[in-house]
Amino acid sequence: MHCSLKRNVYLLCWVSFLQGMVFYGPIATLYRLSAGISVFQITLIESISLALCVALELPWGIAADRIGYKNTMLVCTGLYFLSKIVFWRADGFAMFLLERVMLSVVIAGISGVDVSILYLSCEPGSSQRIFGIYNALNTGGLLLASGVYALFIGSNYRLAGFLTVISYGLAAGAVPFLREVRPAESRARRPGALRRILRETVRDRRLLLFLISTALLNEAHQTITVFLSQLQYVRCGMGPRAIGGVCVLVTLAGLTGVLSHPLTKRLGFRRGGAAAYLCCIAACAALALTRSALLSAAAVLALRIAFSLFQPLQTELQNRRVTAADRATALSVNALLLDGTAIATNLIYGAAAERALPLALLLGAGSCALGLGLYLWGSADF
């Protein structure tokens, strides 16, 4: 690996660590509720955000392939920093919506760009291991932030928001030191490139099934571990300190992503992925059927571990399927399918949780079961 490109891997891992330091992570839902918005409004904002991500994915992917991946990261990490300032000061639906709109621009911009830089900067055959480390460091940042919350912050939610602003500012400051992996001569516009990428993606039926299955698992994990788990903890009688302590353990479980590569080598892509789906189904079902704090914590822990092992695998498989020179555009097309599936599921989860929390958790189990079937079908030739 060239020394300057190796630096890219180190810098992006550092940025991932800093952006993982979301100090309000253990009380993300409670933070919003204390500021005057409801659970349904939270999920409505999430769905609006995802819809905007869908609208911006392709324009951003095309732009990233033209202006360069480093410049894209500069713009997006700067806006990421500003969005955290808005979240810190947010009070009511409009401000939280503004924060998610800004975040949508960031997510659509970074989508496919960070992993493309990593994929093009690391040695051949080491990308899945690097993806695992990259994700684990993000989890490590959240672990540190959760520990700080549990020990020092407690019910001071706004302090948690302010500390998050600082960590994201430091992350934005590291990006200018990246080296561009997409030279200017490779950014020339290729007429018909987008149509060709879209045509190839639509014709790849197994890739489509794989992407939909991945979206179902991603959203079940995201909605339950970030939002619904906190409501489940309160339902089980847990206090803020206990919730913070469990969040530390669940965050720590995310470090298991570094084991994704050796596990895949042992089981293979198909069996390894199927095991993750089965674990998520069991965890969601257990959450729906129990009011035990201990069992609830164990189920969320299992859900987190399964997803953390699956995440580098899905990133590796998506990158392996990219044959186009415009890598960010191709990955943005994939993200369109992922986000499109997630828009509907977010509203469904929110509406179900408003009626009864166990109903939303059972919905998560059903989504993962459907995802397993699609994954086994779609990954047959991976």
d(CA 54, CA 66): 20
Residue 77 in contact with residue 15, Cβ under 8 Å? Answer: yes
Kindly give the interhelix angle for 205-222 and 293-321, rounded to the nearest 10 degrees: 150
Q: What is the pLDDT of residue 221?
A: 94
The better pLDDT of the pair 371, 265 is held by 371
Domain spans, the chain = 3-178+194-378
Which conformational region is residue 312 in: left (phi greater than 0), alpha (psi within -120 to 50 degrees), or beta? alpha
Compute the average pLDDT of residues 103-118.
Answer: 91
pLDDT, the chain, mean: 87
Closest CA to 141 of 152, 149, 130: 149
Separation between Cα atoms, residue 245 and residue 167, nearest integer Å? 21
For the chain, first and last CA: distance in Å? Answer: 27
pLDDT in tens, 175-232: 999 999 876 555 555 556 677 777 777 777 888 888 889 999 999 998 999 889 989 9
Higher pLDDT residue, 326 or 161?
161
The tokens for 190 are 């290729």
Pick 177 or 249 by higher pLDDT.
Answer: 177
- Render the burial of 7-45: b for 16+ CB within 10 Å, e for the rest: ebbebbbbbbbbbbbbbbbbbbbbbbbebebebebbbbb
Q: Give residue-wise pLDDT tens across range 92-108.
A: 899 999 999 999 999 98
Q: How far is CA 9 from the centre of its chain?
A: 19
- Locate 201 and state its tokens: 């993606």
d(CA 261, CA 313): 8
Q: What angle do CA 281, 243, 283 make, to 5 degrees?
A: 10
pLDDT of residue 1 exceeding 60: no
As assigned by CATH, the class of the 3-178+194-378 domain is mainly alpha
